[in-house]
Structure 1
Amino acid sequence: MCGIAGWVSFERDLREQRAIAEAMTETMALRGPDAGGLWLDQHVALGHRRLSIIDLEGGSQPMAAERDGRSVACLVYTGEVYNFRELRAELQGLGHAFRTRSDTEVVLHAYLQWGETMVDRLNGMYAFAMWDAREERLLLVRDRMGVKPLYYYPLPDGALFGSEPKAILAHPQAKRRVTADGLREMLDLVKTPEAAVFAGMHEVRPGQAVSVDRRGLRKRRYWQLEAREHADDLPATIRRVRELLDDIVERQIVADVPLCSLLSGGLDSSAITALAAISMRRQGKGAVRSFSVDFVKHGTDFAADFLRGSPDAPFVRDLAAHAGTEHREILLQSRELADPALRAAVLGAQDLPPAYWGDMLPSLYKLFEAIRAQSTVALSGESADELFGGYRWFHDDSAIAADTFPWLAGTSGSFFDGRSLLAPELLNRLDMAGFRRDSYAQALAETPRLASDTPKERRMREISHMHLTRLVQALLDRKDRMSMAVGLEVRVPFCDHRLVEYVFNAPWSMKHFDGREKSLLRAACRDALPESILQRVKSPYPATQDPAYEKALREGLIRVLDDARSPALPLLDKTAAWKLLDRPFGKTSAPPERAGLEMALGLDEWLRHHQAALDL
């Protein structure tokens, strides 16, 4: 896992611009702490920072291919291609010779053999830039589910690109300007495909290839979800889900560095951990190392709320004992999550205000930091809820019927409403209601459908598609930024496109055939899990319930309100902010109040850090 950056200019000799290319590449140092490299040609600069996972000695980048003494193609690549061994064998049969054991070289030779159509053969999580010197063309490619990020910034004579916005913003031609559209993207938990917060910048869409040459920039979708008739009955569907999961997990435990799993005690992470334990035992690789996170005193002071009905720790212990993992619990102190240095590190990794996720981002950062001291690769249960229908709003008739995104409807939406402290005149100018309506209409229009779908199946297909193309992108981005900021690769087996395609087209009646959430996943992994996990109701990632954290947030808001130079001050409703501060606080504030506090502080910190110019 790595970080990439680069620049194409058809009017300049970039061999004379090494300093700029180095500055762009250096912004990716946290993503790739092990090594760095830069490749320059007349019209292209390719930068790479490496986190070594496979073939530690031979996988250095940028990686170039030569014929007749001249470079014909050069690759900078981040991620993992899980079927690289099969592809390498096929390519060897076609006459290709390999110098390394890395999947990077397989991707390079696959391009030489099949050109851009090679993307159809890849199974994995990846983002890469390929420079074809023969055609003077840059190809940017992102994996089907968008597990790995990739951004670009068109220029009159070419383009800039990078794994994160900060790589592009390190170039003097990239402006740190945010328009109303960019601010709207920050204020609603709906990730618009291809949109980026900074004006002029774009994100390569999942399953998309973007090419840049002298004729300009072109985009092509090489993969997207399609609606297909599901021919299997329920028992066959359950068997097929298990077959896919067994194969996916076996492919994803391949690494030349220490590997572990993230274990919350929920169905998703427990299934991945248990299947990894089975596969590793079968291969004679020993026990899986697992890690969980909790807050000091949650074991004795936990209080159920709307989202979380039970603490994680008892279920974590059950699964660890059942699967025989080497388990370690990471305990966090709530107040340290508001530490300015930690919040600055989170902000630097995120490139956006850490608003919706509250204490989740700093706690993820601390968890991944602790794991990184012992492992370099971790398996995660991320995206199972979106795929199998795990959230409670999948089963809430009012949320299903709402004319908006289900996670933003009714009571559920209040947990993600960070606008309570923003100035009314700002919100009116942004027309957030109109923005959400337009985003929702766009999502509906993109949903593939079958004529045979009943009205209920049609609606649940729409909701599933929204989650897999809008919500899951925000969650994957969150996981990627916090893990890569400490040099940890997190793999997400539930994002394997074969599983996503299959389960997306399974009827909703199968996805909750027993009247519960994630029925297919529960049935597919029943034999690998203890009964306590099978019976547990969905519970999200833990949030602190310690009033010390809320107190720290309030203190931060007071500093913003008392400082006339605070960049976020003109964006806030100061009367509402002081009223909130006058209220008594307890173990938790109401969801909109907590989200509003996080958004106000996050905006201020973000504007200070990025020195972004708001053009509203």
Structure 2
Amino acid sequence: MCGIAGWIDFDRNLTRERAIAEGMTRTLHSRGPDDSGLWLDSHAALGHRRLSIIDLEGGRQPMTAEENGQTVAVLVYTGEVYNFRELKTELVSLGHSFRTQSDTEVVLEAYRHWGPAFPERLNGMFSFALWDARKQTLLLVRDRLGIKPLYYLPTPHGVLFGSEPKAILAHPGVRAEVDEDGLRELLAFTKTPGEAIFRGMREVRPGHVVTVTRGGLRERAYWKLEARPHTDDLKTTVRTIRELLEDIVSRQLIADVPLCTLLSGGLDSSIITALSQRALAAQGAGPVRSFAVDFVNNARDFTPDEVRATPDAPFVQEVAVHVQSHHTNIVLSAGDLAAPHVRAAVLHARDLPISMGDMDPSMYLLFRAIRQHSTVALSGESADEVFGGYSWFHDPQTIAAPTFPWQTAALHLFGSLQDALAPGLLRRLGVKEYIRARYDEALAEVPRLEGETGLERRMREVFYLHLTRFLQILLDRKDRTSMATGLEVRVPFCDHRLVEYLFNVPWAMKTFDGREKSLLRAAAADLLPKSVLERRKSPYPSTKDPEYTRLLHQQFTRLRERTGAPVRPLLAQEPLGKEFPWTRPYMEQVLMFNAWLEDYGVKVEARSYRPSDVLGLSGAMTGM
């Protein structure tokens, strides 16, 4: 796992711009603390920060391919291609030779042999930039589900790109500005493919390739979800899911560094931990290390609610004993979670004030602690989107509503900046209308199966919305908070083979026993304790410690008393009055938003974007 950054400009000599290219790459140090590299040519600058996972000595980047002493292609790459060994064997049989044992070189040689169609052959999580020196063409490529991020900003004569917005904002010709569309996207709590909030910036869509030439940019999809008839019976479906999961986990255990699993005591992470333990034991390795997050005094403070019926700790312990993992609990205090420097670290990991409350700092602190022991972790993320695990999947009223199904439930948990903004600004932005337009846009994309009607048709829509709009929020959070600590998190449930298969399984079969994630429970029936198999869905934990709310209130009060706080002109007046009931979600959202405006020097602009505004005559960066 690494960080990449670069600059293509067909109108200037970039060999003279080393300092700028190095500055862009340097912003991604946390993503790649082990090594750095930079490749410069007249119109291309490609930078790389490396987190060494596979072939620690031979996998340095940028990696070049040469013919007759001339560089013909250059690659900067982040992620993992899990089928690289099979691809390498095939390429060797086709006459290719290899200098290293890395998957990076396999990606480079795959392009040289199969050309621009080669991403279709890759199984993994990845984003990369490949410069074809002979054709003077750049390819920006992102994995099918969007596990690894990749941003770009078109310029009058090329493009800037990076694993995170901060790399692009580090260019002196780029300003950290957000227009009204960016604000709407920020407030909508849905991640529209391609949107990047910052003015003029884009994100490579999952499963897409952006091609940059002297003539401009063009984008194409190399993968998308398709509707196909599901002909397997229930027994065959369960067996197929189990076989896929065993293969996926086995592939994703490949690493030349210490590896572990994230264990919450829920169904998803417990299955990944159990399968990892079995696979390692079969290899004569193990036991697998597992890690869980918990809170000081959580046994005292926890109270069941409609979202979390049970605490994680007893189930975590039961699974760890059952599968015989080498387990560690990471216990966090209210002071840890509320610390301003931790909030700042989360903000600078994500580049955006998208707050999920105390779950963001706890995830960051969990990953930071794990990094002291392991470099790679396997996670149960995305099982809910693939198998239908959220409570709202099973609520007829929510499913029938003409909007994104998670809107009401998620905003109840995390709050929304919409609750804090001035009414005049909200009316001007028209966020509700924006959400509806994006919802209609997403529905128009849904692949349809001929003859599919009623609930089955609607549930196909619901799964598509989650896989393309909601999952992106969670994957982005997990990638950014983990990579900020130098930890690579892998997500087995995002393997595109599993996603494609489950997308076409009828809803009636997915819920054959009347519970959420019926098929996943059936596929893991022999792996886990009965208590875990029967446990109701419980999301990532949140502290119930009243001390956290007290510390939050102190910080919010200090912000409220600062007349120069940049967030104040955007807020409604009443919430800052003495009588307003300051809820945790409200305070968390406002504190994060103010820190973003302040630390990033963000300017909120209403004017529209023109590429000619970028890399203009002068102007220091307004951003970080």
Secondary structure of 2:5's aligned partner: strand
Superposed displacement of residue 321, structure 1:
0.8
Q: Assess if the C-alpha contact under 8 Å between 2:271 and 2:524 holds in 1.
A: yes
Tell me which residue corresponds to 1:425.
424
Q: Which amino acid aligns with 1:17?
A: E
Q: Which amino acid aligns with 1:535?
A: E
Which of the pair has the greater relative contact order for Cα pairs under 8 Å at 6+ separation? Answer: 2
Q: What is the correspondence of 1:137-152 to structure 2 with a 5 Å cutoff?
A: 137-152=137-152
Deviation readout 1:191-223 (Å, 9 max, x if unpaired)? 011001101000000000001011110000000
Partner Cα separation in structure 2 for residue 205 and residue 609 of structure 1:
28
Secondary structure of 2:4's aligned partner: strand
Q: What is the correspondence of 1:121-270 to structure 2 with a 5 Å cutoff?
A: 121-270=121-270
Secondary structure of 2:419's aligned partner: coil
Q: Which amino acid aligns with 1:249?
A: V
Q: Which amino acid aligns with 1:414?
A: H
Tell me which residue corresponds to 1:75.
75
Deviation readout 1:532-553 (Å, 9 max, x if unpaired)? 1101000001101111211222
Partner Cα separation in structure 1 for residue 556 and residue 181 of structure 2:
26
Partner Cα separation in structure 2 for residue 176 and residue 305 of structure 1:
40
Partner Cα separation in structure 1 for residue 570 and residue 579 of structure 2:
16
Q: What is the correspondence of 1:105-120 to structure 2 with a 5 Å cutoff?
A: 105-120=105-120
Secondary structure of 1:159's aligned partner: strand
Tell me which residue corresponds to 1:60.
60
Cα distance change, pair 412–352 in 1 and its aligned pair in 2 (3 A): closer
Deviation readout 1:72-124 (Å, 9 max, x if unpaired)? 00000000000000000000011111010000000000000011111010000
Partner Cα separation in structure 2 for residue 445 and residue 554 of structure 1:
44
2:489 counterpart of 1:515: no
Q: Which moved more, 1:548-557 or 1:181-190?
A: 548-557
Deviation readout 1:232-276 (Å, 9 max, x if unpaired)? 011100000001000000000000000000000000000111011
Q: Assess if the C-alpha contact under 8 Å between 1:561 and 1:574 holds in 2.
A: no
Tell me which residue corresponds to 2:614.
none
Partner Cα separation in structure 2 for residue 204 and residue 95 of structure 1:
32
Superposed displacement of residue 579, structure 1:
4.5
Tell me which residue corresponds to 1:358.
357
Secondary structure of 1:30's aligned partner: helix
Q: Assess if the C-alpha contact under 8 Å between 2:129 and 2:141 holds in 1.
A: yes
Q: Which amino acid aligns with 1:378?
A: A
Tell me which residue corresponds to 1:283.
283
Q: What is the correspondence of 1:302-381 to structure 2 with a 5 Å cutoff?
A: 302-355=302-355, 357-381=356-380
Superposed displacement of residue 611, structure 1:
0.2
Partner Cα separation in structure 1 for residue 358 and residue 531 of structure 2:
28
Tell me which residue corresponds to 1:452.
451
CA RMSD in angstroms comes to 1.1
Q: Where do 5+ consecutive residues of structure 2 fail to align? A: 607-624
Secondary structure of 1:300's aligned partner: helix
Tell me which residue corresponds to 1:527.
526
Tell me which residue corresponds to 1:586.
none
Partner Cα separation in structure 2 for residue 485 and residue 574 of structure 1:
36
Partner Cα separation in structure 2 for residue 531 and residue 580 of structure 1:
49
2:593 counterpart of 1:603: yes
Tell me which residue corresponds to 2:407.
408
Tell me which residue corresponds to 2:16.
16
Deviation readout 1:14-61 (Å, 9 max, x if unpaired)? 001000000000001000000000000110000000000000000000
Q: Which amino acid aligns with 1:191?
A: K
Tell me which residue corresponds to 2:383.
384
2:611 counterpart of 1:613: no
Secondary structure of 2:342's aligned partner: helix
Q: Assess if the C-alpha contact under 8 Å between 2:301 and 2:545 holds in 1.
A: no
Q: Assess if the C-alpha contact under 8 Å between 1:369 and 1:486 holds in 2.
A: yes
Partner Cα separation in structure 2 for residue 535 and residue 13 of structure 1:
63
Secondary structure of 2:172's aligned partner: coil
Secondary structure of 2:30's aligned partner: coil
Tell me which residue corresponds to 1:46.
46
Q: Assess if the C-alpha contact under 8 Å between 2:75 and 2:131 holds in 1.
A: yes
Q: Assess if the C-alpha contact under 8 Å between 1:354 and 1:361 holds in 2.
A: no
Q: Assess if the C-alpha contact under 8 Å between 1:188 and 1:417 holds in 2.
A: no
Partner Cα separation in structure 2 for residue 190 and residue 434 of structure 1:
13
Secondary structure of 1:415's aligned partner: helix
Secondary structure of 2:29's aligned partner: coil
Partner Cα separation in structure 1 for residue 450 and residue 584 of structure 2:
44
Q: Assess if the C-alpha contact under 8 Å between 2:2 and 2:78 holds in 1.
A: yes
Tell me which residue corresponds to 2:613.
none
Cα distance change, pair 126–539 in 1 and its aligned pair in 2 (3 A): same
Q: Assess if the C-alpha contact under 8 Å between 1:127 and 1:140 holds in 2.
A: yes
Secondary structure of 1:595's aligned partner: helix
Partner Cα separation in structure 2 for residue 430 and residue 306 of structure 1:
33
Superposed displacement of residue 403, structure 1:
1.0
Q: Which amino acid aligns with 1:366?
A: L
Secondary structure of 1:311's aligned partner: coil
Q: Which amino acid aligns with 1:569?
A: R
Q: Which moved more, 1:417-426 or 1:13-22?
A: 417-426
Q: Assess if the C-alpha contact under 8 Å between 2:182 and 2:197 holds in 1.
A: yes
2:569 counterpart of 1:570: yes
Aligned positions, number: 605
Superposed displacement of residue 335, structure 1:
2.4
Superposed displacement of residue 599, structure 1:
1.5
Runs of 4+ deviating beyond 4 Å: none
Q: Assess if the C-alpha contact under 8 Å between 2:182 and 2:198 holds in 1.
A: yes
Superposed displacement of residue 454, structure 1:
2.7
Q: Which amino acid aligns with 1:476?
A: L
Partner Cα separation in structure 2 for residue 203 and residue 594 of structure 1:
31
Superposed displacement of residue 420, structure 1:
1.7
Q: Which amino acid aligns with 2:318?
A: D
2:542 counterpart of 1:552: no
Q: What is the correspondence of 1:445-484 to structure 2 with a 5 Å cutoff?
A: 445-484=444-483
Tell me which residue corresponds to 1:486.
485
Partner Cα separation in structure 2 for residue 488 and residue 416 of structure 1:
25
Cα distance change, pair 412–610 in 1 and its aligned pair in 2 (3 A): closer
Partner Cα separation in structure 2 for residue 599 and residue 553 of structure 1:
11
Tell me which residue corresponds to 2:609.
none
Partner Cα separation in structure 2 for residue 548 and residue 425 of structure 1:
35
Secondary structure of 1:601's aligned partner: helix
Cα distance change, pair 169–340 in 1 and its aligned pair in 2 (3 A): same
Q: Which amino acid aligns with 2:412?
A: S
Superposed displacement of residue 286, structure 1:
1.7
